[in-house]
Structure 1
Amino acid sequence: LVQRIDPDGAEHFKSYDDKGRLTVEQDPLGAVTAYQYDEAGRLIALFPGDDEPTSYEHHNGFVRVVRRGEAVWKYQRNDQGDITRKTDPDGFVTDYSYNKHGQLTEVWYPDHSCQRLSWNDFGQRVEEKLPNGGVRRYRYDDLGRQVAREDEYGALTQYQWDSVGRLTQVVLPGGATRAYSYNPYGKITAEHDELGRVTRYEYADGLHLISRRINPDGTLLKYRYDNTRLLLTEIENEIGETYQLAYHANGLIQQETGFDGRRTGYTYDLNGHLLEKTEYGDDDSQLVTRYERDSAGRLVRKTLPDRSIVDYTYDRLGNLLSVDDGHWPLNYEYDIQNRLTAEHQGWGTLRYGYDHCGQLKSLRLPDNNRLVFQHDKGGHLATIELNGKTLTSHLFKSGREHQRQQGQLLSHYHYDDQGRLHTHALTQQEQRHYRRQYDYDKRGNLTRILDTRKGQHDYHYDPLDRLTRANHSQDLQERFAHDPAGNLLMQDRMGPGVIKGNRLLMQGDRHYDYDAFGNLLRERRGRAQQLVTEYRYDCQHRLITVTQPDGTHASYRYDPFGRRIAKTLNGQTTEFFWQGDTLIAEHSADHHRSYVYEPDSFRPLALLEGFGPEATKPFHYQLDHLGTPQELTNPNGEIVWSAHYRAYGQIAKLDVNTVNNPLRFQGQYFDQESGLHYNRHRYYNPDNGRYLTPDPVKLAGGLNGYQYVPNPTGWVDPLGLSANCPGNEKSKLHCNKSSEPEAPEASRSGAFRQAKSDAKIPTKQHPNPVFDAETGQIKQFKYIRMKDLQNNEILDTKGKPILTREYEYTREDGSKIVIQEHSAGHKFGASGGVGDQGAHFNLRPISNTRNGKLDGVKNHYNFEVKR
C-alpha cells in the first residue's frame, strides 16, 4: 500500500526501500514519520517528525537497548527471547521467570516483592499469588470455559454457559444470581438482575442493532439508524423527546441536537482532529471555539468564543511544558522517565518524587509542607508522613484496608462478600467512639445505615434502582419521584414539577429560567417570585457570578483547564491550587489550608490548617461508604466537625462545627455564599439534586444532562461529568497483578491486570503521563472518541458516542502500546459480531490506536460494571 484516500479526501502516503520495508509515512497534513533499519532488516531508529527519535540496539535478534532522549532501557533475555530482566532509566530492576512452556511464573519487582503464577496442562492460569499475599484461584470446565473464580478474600463467583458458549448465569458471592437470554443470532434479549427484574432488548430487522430497550418499569428507549452506514441517528427517550446525530462523509459527527433542541456542530482537519466547535443557542446566537495543532496532532492553541487565546507548548518527548491563558500560567517539569516532577500554578508549586516502583513517594505542597508516602510490597499505602511525623498509617490484608490509624483514633473496616463496606468502627485506646453498619439488597443498593452517633437511615428504590424514600431517625423523612426520563422531583415541594428537555422549569414555588445554551440563569421564588437569585456564565459555560436576593455578590475565576482558581466575596479573594482534578490547597489573606487524599482518588484523608510546616495543624477525615466526610477529628481524637446529611448531599444539621470543612460528596466543595457545591466541571445544587448547566461531554455523560447520579446512595460524580459507582476494592491497578481469563463477568481491575500481563507490562508500571486535550489535564490516561474500522464513531449499547480512557505504556522492548477502556461497551456494524460488545479493554499498538492488533493478546478483555 502506497496511498490511501479517505472519504473526506484525506491522503495517506507510504514509502518503502528495495526490500519492502516501510521507510516513510506521511499523514494527510504532511507530517512525516521515518524508519531506519540495519542490514538484517531490524528497526534501529524511529524518527517521529520533529519529536525526539527512538533508537534500538539488538543482540541475537532481540531488542537489548532502547534509547530516547536521555532515557535508556536495558533488557536481558533467555534463549527463547523472553525478557528475564528489565532495567529502567533510573537503574531499577524487574526480573521475570518462565516455565518450560514459556509461561510467566514469577515477577520480582524493584521493591523485592514477588508475584507467582501457576498454570494447568491446557495453558490456563489456575492460581496467582499476589505481592500482597493474596491468592486467586480459577476453575474451568472440560471445554475450557471458566466456571468459578475465588478471589483473594475467599469470595466465590460461579458461571454457567449454554451449549454454544454463551454466558447464561452468574452466581455472585452470597448466592445472588444474574441471568441472560439470547436470540438465535447470539444477541442478548433479556437481562434478569439479582432481584428478578427484567430488562429486554429488541433489534432492528436484519441489522442486529438495538432498536428498543424496555426497562423493568415498562418505559422505552428507542434507537434509529441511517440506511447506508448504519450509524445511530436518533435516540428517543422515555417521554418521546429525541436526540439527533448527523455525520460527515468520513463518519465523524457533524452535528448533534440535544433533547432540549440545542445544536452543536463540529469540523475536523484531514487527520480527524477537531478544528472547530460551534454551539448554537436557542436564540440563534453562536459560540465558536477553534483549535490549532502541531504536526503530531497536539493542541497548541485554542481560540475561545470571546477571542481569548490559550497556548500550549511541549518538549520533544511530547510532554506538556506550559499552558498560558494570559492570566494564570501553568508550567511543568519531568524526570528522565517522563514523570511529572514539578507543577507551577500561579505563585504556587507542587513537587513530586517517586519510589523504585514508580509510585508517588513525596509531595511538596505550595506552602512548603512535605508529605512522604510509604507503600507495602503489594503497592498499598502503608503510611503518610507530614514533615517527618506520621500523619496516617494503614493496614491492608490481601489488598483491602482493614485498619487505619489517625492520631489517637483507630478505624476498623469490615466488608461483605462482594467487597462492599459493611462496618466501620472507630476506637480510641480500645474504647469505641462509634460504629456504622451498612446493609445492601441483592442488587447492591444501600438499604440501611445503623449509626451509633447519628441514628438509623433506611432507603427504598423503584424498579430502576432510583431512590424513592429516605427515612432518617433524627431528621425529616424524604420522598422522591422521577419522571420517565430520570428527572428528580422532590415530593415534599408543593405543586407540580414542570420539565422540558430535561430542564427543570418549575417545582413548588420555585421558577427557573435558562439562557440560550441551557445554563440556569435565574431562580425565582417566594411571594410573586420576588426573591431572585441570578447566575452569569462565561463563553465556556463556567459560572462567573452569583447574585443573591439580598444583593450579595460572588465572582469566580478559572485556569485554562477550567479548574476554579479564585472566588471573591465581599472584597476578599480565596485562591485555589490543584493536583490534577483534586483540590490540593486554598489560600486567602488571612487563611491557608491543604487537603490530603487517599492515593489516586477523591476520598479526603486529612485537612492541614495553617501556612507552612511551623503553623500547620492536621485534622483527619472520617468517611462513609461513598467517601463523603462524616466527621473531622483532631489528633487527640476529638470531633471538630460533624454533619447530618440528607440523601442528595444537603446538610440538615451540623452538630459540631469547630473547624470548617467545605468538602462534601467526592469532588465537591461547598460554597456558603450560594449553597452550591463546586464539582470541578460544573456546579451542583443539593437542594434539588441537579446541576445548573448541561453536561459538557453530552451523551458521554448519560442521556440526562442535568442529572447528578442514578441514585445518591451508591454513586458519585467527582468530576461533574459522568457518574460512577465507587469500586469495591481499595487496591490500585498498579499495585496488584492479575491475569483473569476472558469472561464477561470479570472485574474491571482483573480485566485491566490481565491486559497488562498479556502485553508483558509489569503490574507496578505506571502509564506514561499524557496531556488530555479533551479535559486539559496531565494524567496517566486521556479521553478519546472511539472509532470503528471505517472511521465512524463507535456507540455504546445505549447509542451514546464513547468518550473512553486510553492508557499509554512503554513495553520492555521499547515499543509503545495503549490500553483502551470501553466501560460502556459499544455497538457498531451490521453483522452483530465484533462491534457489539459489553464492557471491555482493548490492546493496541501506538502506531494504530484505532484498530491495530498486537500479537499474542486477546481481542477483548471483558469485565462487568454495576448498573
Structure 2
Amino acid sequence: MSKDIDGKQTETYSWTKQRISGEKYYRLGAYEYKRSDPDTSVPLLSQKVITRDGATYSTTYSNYDAYGNPGQVAESGPNGGSRTTTLTYNINTNKWLVKQVKDESFPGSSITRSFDTNGNLLSQTRDGVSTSYTYDAQGNVATVTYPRSLTHTLSNYKRGIPQSESQPEGVNITRVVSDAGNITSETNGDQRTTTYGYDLQNRLTSITRPAGDAVSISYTGPTIGYTSKIVTRGTLKETTQYDGFMRPISVDLGGVVRTTTYDNNGRKNFESNPGASIGTKFQQYDGLGRVGLITNADNTTRTFTYGAGTRTVTDERNNATTETLRGYGNPDQTFVMGISKPDASANVTLARNSKDLVTSVTQAGLTRSYGYNSNYYLTSVTDPETGTTTYGRDAAGNMTSRTVGASGTTNYTYDNQNRLTAVSYPNGAPAVSKTYSKTHRLLTVNSSSANRSYAYDANNNLTSESVVVDGRTFTTGYGYNTRDQLQSITYPQSGKVVSYAPDALGRPTQVSGYITSVSYWPSGMPKQINYANGTVTEYDQHSRLWPSTFRTQKSGTYYVNSSYGYDGMGNLSSISDSADGSYNRSFGYDSLDRLTTANGPWGSGTIAYNGAGNITSQVLGGSNLYYSYTDGTNRLNSVTGSRTTTYGYDAYGNVTSGSGNTYTYDGVPNLTCVNCGNAAAKIEYTYDGLNRRVSATKAGVKTYEVYGSHGNQLIEFTPSQSNRLVEYIYLGGKRIAQRVTP
C-alpha cells in the first residue's frame, strides 16, 4: 500500500500477518465436522518507507510478540541516521494490559520501567536517572520521588486533582476543587491564595490574585464555543476574535490590534503589524504544509526550499543558507548536521552521539567538543580559547563543580528544591550563600564582600532590594499599580522617588522630573518623548517596525534630524542627518551580514574577517589596524598598524594584559584590579554574590556602585568626596539623565 502527497512525499507500507487463533471449529447441523483454521490472522506493519524530497526515511518492525507488539524497531534516514530500538512490554492478561512499554533501549541509551499489578507506573529509569511513584487506594499518585531522592507528596484528591501537595523545604500547596473538577483556589507556599471562577460551561471567568485588580473573562457567541473572548484587568482589556474553527483572527490588546488570516487549508497566510493593515504574508505552502515564501511588509521576501535531507533559506538579500539534516524514520524529526553559509569559509559541521546530542561543532578549522556522562548530562566542553572545562553533576543534573582549563575548581550546592544555595570559588574569591522563599523567590545573597536581601508583595512583585557593603546599607524600592506594573523606583541613598505613570500596557508615560510625557507606536517603540527641559525627541517607524527617523529639537531648533535606511535583513545601511550633513554615514555588509564598509566623518572604511568571524583588518579613514590570532586558540594575539598592542590571557580566557594595562581576576572570574603594579593607575573592584560590582577604588578613593534588579546602574556614591552622589535615570533600559549632588 502506498500514497503520494503533492508529489513531495510518498509513503509505502508493507505488512505481515500474525495468526490470531489455532482453535478448532465445530459446526452442528445435518452433519457434524471440525476443522482447524490457520488462516485467521491480523495484519502487522512490517515496514514504513517515507520518501520526501528524494530522501528515504525507513522504519522496520520485527520480533512481534503474541499481542502484536514489535520487539525491535529499526530506523534509517539521510545523513547518517541509523538507530535500532529494542522493546519489551508489561503483559498482564488478567488486567487486560498487553500494550504497556516496559523497557526500551538502543546503543548507548536505555529506559526501564516497573509497574504494579494495575499497570500503574512505579519507577522509570532513563539512562541511569530514576523517578519513582506510589499510589493511594483509589489509584491516584500519592508520592513522586525525583532524582536525589526528593519526594513530593500528593493527597486529598477530588475529581482526579490533588488538593494538597507537600514538597521538600517545607513548601506546601493547597487547592480547592469544585464538583465539576475545576480548581477554584490555590494557596501557594507562602500561604497566599489565588481564586478562580468559572461559568456553567466550565470556562474560566475570573482570576483574583492576593492583591490588586482581579481579572475578568467573558465570552460571546453560541452556546458551544465562542466568537470572542474578553479579558479585563483594571484598565487593560484584551479582546480576541475567533473564526468558526476557533482560530484567533484578531487580538485587540489595550487598543492595539493585530489580525491574522488563514487559507482554505487552515494555514496562516497573513499576520498584520500591530495597529496596522500591513504585515507579513506566508505563501506558497506545499502539500506538506511547509511555507515556501514569506513576504514582509516592505515587500522584501524570504524563500524556503527543501531537498533530500536539506533545507535552504534564501534571505531578503538573496543570500542562501543550507542546513544538512540527519533523520531517522520520521522526516518531521530531524537534526542539523551541517550549515552551508553564503561564504563557504564560515561553513559549520556538527557531530552528534547516539542520543543526537551535539558532540562537536567545527567552523573555520576550529572545533568545540562536548562530552557527556552516562546520564547524558554535559560534563565537559573543549574549546580553542580555554581548553577543556569540566563539570560535575548530581543525579538531577545540577552542576556541582566547574573547572576551566588549568584554573581551580568552583563548587555548587543545592537545596532539596534544586535551588542553588552556595558557591565556593577558587583562589580566595568570596564564597556565596543564597536563600529563597517558599515560592522560590530569591531572599538573600551573602558573601564577605556584600550582602543582598529582597522583599516581595503578596503578588510576588519585588518591592525592595538592599545591598550592604562595608557596613553601609543601600536600599532600592519598587512600587506597582493594581495591575502589577512598575509605577515607581525609590533610589538608594537619597530616597528620591522616580515615577513612571504606566499606561494600560505597563509602558512608562513619564519619568518624573525628567520626562513629562511619552507616546508610543503600536509596536511599543517610543513615538515622542517630551523632556522636562523642553527638548522633544521624535521617532518614525519603518514598515518592518524599525526606527526610520530620529529627531531632537527644542523650540523649533533641530539638533538631530536623522533618517535611517536599511537593507532587507535590517542591517543599517545609511544615516542621513539634515541638521548637519557632515554626520551622514553609509554602511555595507557581506553575505554573512558582517559590516564590511563604513563611510562617514572619518572618511571611507573597510573591515575584513576570517571564517570564524574575527576581524582581520579595519581601515577607517587614516587609521589602519590589523589583527592576528594565535593558531588553534582563536585568541586575539596582537594588533598592528596605527597602533601596536599584544595581549595576554589567563586560564579563563580573560585578557590579562594589553594596550599598556594589566588586568587581574579572581576565581569567579571577576575583574578585581587594573594596573595593580602601578599605584598611580591602580583601580580595584569588589562584587556581590550576584557578580554585580559594588565598589571601585581609584587612587585610594572608594566609590560605591548600586545596580537595580533590571541590571541598570542606579547610583555611584563617594563618601570621601563630600558624599558625592551620582544618580542615573532611565526610560525602560535606556539611560536618559544623571543627577549629581552636591
TM-score range, shorter chain: 0.7 to 0.9
Q: How far did 1:584 drift?
A: 5.7
- Residue 693 of structure 1: aligned partner: none
CA distance in 1, matches of 2:229, 2:667: 49
SS of 1:373's equivalent in the other structure is strand
SS of 2:405's equivalent in the other structure is coil
**Aligned AA for 1:555?**
Y
CA distance in 1, matches of 2:572, 2:592: 14
Residues 753-796 of structure 1: CA deviation (Å, up to 9, x unaligned): xxxxxxxxxxxxxxxxxxxxxxxxxxxxxxxxxxxxxxxxxxxx
Residues 628-650 of structure 1: CA deviation (Å, up to 9, x unaligned): 43432358xxxxxxxxxxxxxxx
Residues 469-511 of structure 1: CA deviation (Å, up to 9, x unaligned): 2234456332221111122124346675432202221122210
1:119 has 2:189 as partner: no
- Residue 331 of structure 1: aligned partner: 433
Q: How far did 1:188 drift?
A: 0.9
Q: How far did 1:586 drift?
A: 3.0
1:104 has 2:213 as partner: no
Q: Which of 633, 640, 648 matches 2:739? A: 633
* Closer, same or farther: CA 566–361 of 1 in aligned 2, 3 Å: farther
CA distance in 2, matches of 1:350, 1:507: 44
Q: Which of 648, 651, 658 matches 1:547? A: 658
492-501 or 132-141, which moves further after superposition? Answer: 492-501
1:7 has 2:106 as partner: yes
Q: Is the 8 A contact 1:513 1:521 kept in 2?
A: yes
**Percent identity of paired positions between Structure 1 and Structure 2:** 16
1:84 has 2:184 as partner: yes
- Residue 860 of structure 1: aligned partner: none
Q: Is the 8 A contact 1:115 1:128 kept in 2?
A: no
CA distance in 2, matches of 1:114, 1:485: 49
Q: Which of 344, 354, 365 matches 2:467? A: 365
CA distance in 1, matches of 2:553, 2:200: 58
1:301 has 2:401 as partner: yes
SS of 1:395's equivalent in the other structure is coil
1:521 has 2:637 as partner: yes
- Residue 54 of structure 2: aligned partner: none
Q: How far did 1:261 drift?
A: 1.6
Q: Is the 8 A contact 2:486 2:506 kept in 1?
A: no
Mapping of residues 360-509 of structure 1, within 5 Å: 360-367=462-469, 368-386=473-491, 389-406=495-512, 408-427=513-532, 432-452=533-553, 454-472=559-577, 473=579, 476-492=583-599, 496-501=606-611, 502-508=613-619, 509=624
SS of 1:382's equivalent in the other structure is strand
CA distance in 1, matches of 2:670, 2:219: 48
CA distance in 2, matches of 1:155, 1:32: 48
Q: How far did 1:468 drift?
A: 1.7
58-67 or 80-89, which moves further after superposition? Answer: 58-67
Q: How far did 1:175 drift?
A: 2.6
SS of 1:79's equivalent in the other structure is coil
Residues 799-825 of structure 1: CA deviation (Å, up to 9, x unaligned): xxxxxxxxxxxxxxxxxxxxxxxxxxx
Q: Is the 8 A contact 1:6 1:250 kept in 2?
A: no
Q: CA RMSD in A?
A: 2.8
1:16 has 2:120 as partner: no
Q: Which of 342, 356, 369 matches 1:265? A: 369
Q: How far did 1:533 drift?
A: 1.9
| Rg comparison, structure with higher value | 2
Q: How far did 1:415 drift?
A: 0.5
CA distance in 2, matches of 1:446, 1:14: 56
Mapping of residues 231-380 of structure 1, within 5 Å: 231-241=335-345, 242-258=347-363, 260-280=364-384, 287-326=387-426, 327-328=428-429, 329-367=431-469, 368-380=473-485
CA distance in 1, matches of 2:591, 2:688: 38
**Aligned AA for 1:57?**
S
**Aligned AA for 1:499?**
Y
CA distance in 1, matches of 2:247, 2:605: 56
CA distance in 1, matches of 2:407, 2:247: 59
CA distance in 2, matches of 1:227, 1:35: 34
* Closer, same or farther: CA 112–436 of 1 in aligned 2, 3 Å: closer
Q: Is the 8 A contact 1:605 1:621 kept in 2?
A: no
* Closer, same or farther: CA 520–27 of 1 in aligned 2, 3 Å: same
1:200 has 2:303 as partner: yes
**Aligned AA for 1:14?**
R
CA distance in 2, matches of 1:567, 1:302: 26
Residues 509-555 of structure 1: CA deviation (Å, up to 9, x unaligned): 210011233232211122xxxx31222233333x232422xxx3130
Mapping of residues 552-701 of structure 1, within 5 Å: 552-557=660-665, 560=668, 564=671, 567-568=674-675, 570-571=678-679, 572-577=682-687, 583=692, 585-588=694-697, 589-597=700-708, 601-602=710-711, 604=712, 606-610=714-718, 615=723, 617=725, 619-623=727-731, 627-634=733-740
Q: Is the 8 A contact 2:147 2:395 kept in 1?
A: yes
- Residue 727 of structure 1: aligned partner: none
Q: Which of 151, 154, 157 matches 1:56? A: 154
- Residue 642 of structure 1: aligned partner: none
Q: Which of 124, 128, 143 matches 1:45? A: 143
**Aligned AA for 2:335?**
L
Q: How far did 1:165 drift?
A: 0.8
CA distance in 2, matches of 1:491, 1:287: 36
* Closer, same or farther: CA 353–125 of 1 in aligned 2, 3 Å: farther
Q: Which has the higher contact order (CA 8 A, sep 6+)?
A: 1
CA distance in 2, matches of 1:397, 1:495: 44
CA distance in 2, matches of 1:391, 1:309: 43
- Residue 221 of structure 1: aligned partner: 321
* Closer, same or farther: CA 217–580 of 1 in aligned 2, 3 Å: same
CA distance in 1, matches of 2:518, 2:667: 39
Per the normalisation by structure 1, the TM-score is: 0.65
CA distance in 2, matches of 1:14, 1:611: 65
Q: Is the 8 A contact 1:191 1:198 kept in 2?
A: yes
**Aligned AA for 1:246?**
A
**Aligned AA for 1:162?**
D
Q: How far did 1:5 drift?
A: 4.5
* Closer, same or farther: CA 43–559 of 1 in aligned 2, 3 Å: same
CA distance in 2, matches of 1:246, 1:458: 46
CA distance in 2, matches of 1:411, 1:25: 60
CA distance in 2, matches of 1:361, 1:563: 28
Q: How far did 1:587 drift?
A: 3.0
Q: Is the 8 A contact 1:576 1:585 kept in 2?
A: yes
CA distance in 1, matches of 2:421, 2:247: 49
* Closer, same or farther: CA 491–131 of 1 in aligned 2, 3 Å: same
Q: Which runs of 5+ in 1 are unaligned?
A: 636-658, 660-867
Q: Is the 8 A contact 1:51 1:317 kept in 2?
A: no
- Residue 258 of structure 2: aligned partner: 157
Q: Is the 8 A contact 1:554 1:567 kept in 2?
A: yes
- Residue 94 of structure 2: aligned partner: none
Residues 383-406 of structure 1: CA deviation (Å, up to 9, x unaligned): 223469342122112123343344
Q: Which runs of 5+ in 2 are unaligned?
A: 1-88, 91-101
